[in-house]
Amino acid sequence: MKYVFGVDIGGTTVKMGFLTSEGELLEKWEIPTDRSNNGANILSDVAASIDSKITEKGIDKADVIGVGAGVPGPVDSNGIIHSAANLGWGVFNASEEFSRLTGLKAMVGNDANVAALGEMWKGGGVGYKDIVMVTLGTGVGGGIIIDGKILTGALGAGGEIGHIHVRDGEEKACGCGNHGCFEQYCSATGVSNLAKKHFEKYNGTTVLTKEDLSAKAVFDGVKAGDALSKEIAEEFGECLGKGLSVIATIINPEAIVIGGGVSKAGQVIIDYTMPSFKENVFSDCGKLKMLLATLGNDAGMYGAARLVL
Ligand SMILES: [Zn+2]
């Protein structure tokens, strides 16, 4: 039996997974992310945790194929991180450093890209090799997989699809500094902002309350048949469909996989996105499967493991 470790390094915790080379998750655990001293201890903490797991399991280190890691920032195909502000990291070759610390083959990638790889391997995108994944979380992350491989781009910023421009005349700035990115309307924060805007000018009755205008409340409202919630979901779907149509027209993927906290609402997300997607996409590029992610927070761990195989 051969093994692999998949590691998802976040700003607060590091999710660690111990898997077989076939992708069976044998055990997962977490360690805190030590952001002190510009994150200088993070990789060595992870390496120490891997070492003690190898000892605990009584396996031969020679049977460990390697360790993969996803990090929150752009990483190019050589494993060079170009910035990871959440961790305090600057520019360095993380794959090399991680390999030195663990004594194992190591590969590092961008967390959203790696999550896309995980969904392709063991999640919602199983059976496809050309997929686009979009993660609707606090922000909008993305990953593009072409012929089974991550599209990293020159500086590792490939797949930042949440920053596709979908609306002119937006006054508020996106986190990236531009105006009118689809992240501004389709992330959890984005849906909540749309909800506030609609709620303020709505005179009818609604199940929504001023106190809870979260994405979850909105999509629960849609399922309960609430008219205001449906109005908000329509604007959300219009923006998401438009953004996804742009990326689908360029990539012509077999499937788009939608993940992240907002996607927990389920099929309703796809139902509201499809009309605008179909309206804006180039016809042949629109013939794809629109799917929901299934691995949740474990996608990064699976994808990181896959990266090293
Ligand atoms: Zn943006």
Q: 80: CA distance to ligand 1 center in Å? A: 23
Q: 104: CA distance to ligand 1 center in Å? A: 37
Q: 165: CA distance to ligand 1 center in Å? A: 8
Closest CA to 252 of 115, 158, 130, 133: 130
pLDDT tens sequence across 239-276: 999 999 999 999 999 999 999 999 999 999 999 999 99
What pLDDT is attached to residue 59? Answer: 95
How many CA atoms are closer than 13 Å to the CA of 70, on its beta-carbon side?
31
Closest CA to 107 of 59, 166, 150, 157: 150
Q: 190: CA distance to ligand 1 center in Å? A: 11
Task: Using the predicted structure, report yes or no on whether residue 86 has a pLDDT greater than 90.
Answer: no
What pLDDT is attached to residue 124? Answer: 97
Q: 274: CA distance to ligand 1 center in Å? A: 22
What pLDDT is attached to residue 269? Answer: 98
What pLDDT is attached to residue 85? Answer: 85
Helix (H/G/I), strand (E/B), else coil: 242? helix
Q: 106: CA distance to ligand 1 center in Å? A: 31
Within 10 A of 1 (CB to CB), how many other CB atoms are there? 9
Threshold 0.75, pTM exceeds: yes
What pLDDT is attached to residue 307? Answer: 96
Q: 201: CA distance to ligand 1 center in Å? A: 26
Comparing 53-67, 79-93, 100-114, the range with the smallest average pLDDT is 79-93
DSSP-assigned letters across all residues of 193-229: HHHHHHHHT--S--S-BTTB--HHHHHHHHHTT-HHH
Q: 179: CA distance to ligand 1 center in Å? A: 7
- Distance set, CA 231 to CA 27, 185, 197, 198 (Å): 43, 13, 11, 8
pLDDT above 90 covers a percentage of the chain that reads: 95
Task: Using the predicted structure, report yes or no on whether residue 300 has a pLDDT greater than 90.
Answer: yes
Q: 25: CA distance to ligand 1 center in Å? A: 35
pLDDT tens sequence across 124-142: 999 999 999 999 998 899 9
Q: 53: CA distance to ligand 1 center in Å? A: 40
Write the Ramachandran bin of 159: left for phi over 0, alpha for psi from -120 to 50, otherwise beta.
left
At 83, the pLDDT band (50, 70, 90 cuts) reads: confident
Q: 177: CA distance to ligand 1 center in Å? A: 6
Q: 24: CA distance to ligand 1 center in Å? A: 36
What is the overall mean pLDDT for the chain? 96
Q: 81: CA distance to ligand 1 center in Å? A: 20
Task: Using the predicted structure, report yes or no on whether residue 56 has a pLDDT greater than 90.
Answer: yes
At 122, the pLDDT band (50, 70, 90 cuts) reads: very high
pLDDT tens sequence across 223-244: 999 999 999 999 999 999 999 9
pLDDT tens sequence across 183-225: 999 999 999 999 999 999 999 999 999 999 999 999 999 999 9
- Cβ-based neighbours of 225, under 8 Å, separated by 6 or more: none
CA dihedral 37, 108, 98, 92 (to 10 degrees): -50
Q: 295: CA distance to ligand 1 center in Å? A: 26
